[in-house]
Amino acid sequence: MQIETWLCPSAVADHERSRARVCVVIDVLRATTVITTAIAAGARSVTTCLDIEQAWEIKRNADPDNSPLLCGERACRPIEGFDYGNSPSEYSPAGVSGRELVMTTTNGTRAIEAASDCDVMMLACFANLSAVADAIISEMSVGSESSAAPNRQSDATEQAGPTEQMAGSEPVQTSGRLRIVCAGTDGAVTGEDVLLAGALIAVCHRKLSDTARFYEGPIDLVNDSGAIALAAWQHCITHDKVVDSDSLARRLAMTDGGRNMVAAGYEQDLVDCGSIDVFDSVPQRDRVSPARFVLR
């Protein structure tokens, strides 16, 4: 599997912009964490848009018996007149189950728009990290359905030791190119998204390979941004001692996005956004309505 990584949509060369088969968009703080939480809580769909006015227009044009909930933020804060802001804890089954949602955020919904030239788009956060890796492998597998069965690993922070072997009998074969798109913040690369990009590459490697040595494995990082993200994640585990969700939340607080959250009074959101593998749900773009995300 080839993996091409965008550390943020504005830091991409022209030759890296050709159509991708599978694209995974990451905005850990907080859009993709919120959308995943909403879908896991039973929301029927989340439609993303760039502008507040566009969100109101979608609501005005909707069937009044199925009126969407408006969600999102500007400058980290809930938008006046909207139903929900951009904190994962707001999205409970009681509030969103069975509902259509419309969401606009500062960076996440822009990254989704920037990454739109692909056949399949999924949204990733730490909360659905392993599920997204499984979905990628399943989507990019070559061969029968049984050979496409993903090799689940639940602990994303566990390091691949030299004796570690892949579970299962036959290695899964994959083909094609995956693009990982980090949202960043206002055109700048941010650590929280880069860390998840690296974690996703590491988990895909663990699921596909019986070698601990990455560069002998089945993943080909086609640009240095992927290697940078992988190194950042490995450093996070070995040097910063990120071993679980609590230590990850503390590490997220040291990123640009994390500092913004703390300054705006949303420190608790770092705990939710740093929770690893708490959902099996993967939001995937609807093939008919491309701005709409549904449960894969």
Choose which of 212, 260, 271, 278 interacts with ligand L3UKIRZJ (CB under 6 A): 260
Query: Residue 8 in contact with residue 187, Cβ under 8 Å?
Result: yes
Choose which of 23, 24, 26, 29 interacts with ligand L3UKIRZJ (CB under 6 A): 29
Q: How far is the CB of 209 from ligand L3UKIRZJ (least distance, A)?
A: 32
Two tokens, residue 86: 């951009």
Query: Of the ranges 1-9, 102-110, 217-225, 238-246, which one interacts with ligand L3UKIRZJ (CB under 6 A)?
Result: 102-110
Q: How many residues bind ligand L3UKIRZJ (CB under 6 A)?
A: 15
Residue 134, C-beta contacts closer than 8 angstroms, at least 6 positions apart? 150, 152, 207
Query: Of the ranges 6-14, 47-55, 99-107, 148-156, which one interacts with ligand L3UKIRZJ (CB under 6 A)?
Result: 99-107
The Cα–Cα gap between 250 and 270 comes to 8
Considering beta carbons, is residue 9 or 257 the nearer one to ligand L3UKIRZJ? 257
**Site map (CB under 6 A) of ligand L3UKIRZJ, residues 106-135, x = contact:** xxx---------------------------
Two tokens, residue 115: 């990454």
The Cα–Cα gap between 207 and 51 comes to 39
Query: Residue 182 in contact with residue 111, Cβ under 8 Å?
Result: yes
Two tokens, residue 208: 């596909």
Residue whose tokens read 């990120």: 242
* Site residues (CB under 6 A) for ligand L3UKIRZJ, limited to 180-209: 183, 185
**Site map (CB under 6 A) of ligand L3UKIRZJ, residues 35-74, x = contact:** --------------------------------------x-
Query: Of the ranges 28-36, 42-50, 126-134, 144-152, which one interacts with ligand L3UKIRZJ (CB under 6 A)?
Result: 28-36
The Cα–Cα gap between 2 and 23 comes to 12
Contacts of 212-216 with C-beta under 8 Å, sequence gap 24+, read: 212/160, 212/161, 212/162, 212/164
The Cα–Cα gap between 35 and 273 comes to 11
Q: How far is the CB of 246 from ligand L3UKIRZJ (least distance, A)?
A: 21
Which positions touch ligand L3UKIRZJ (CB under 6 A)? 27, 29-31, 73, 76, 86, 105-108, 183, 185, 257, 260
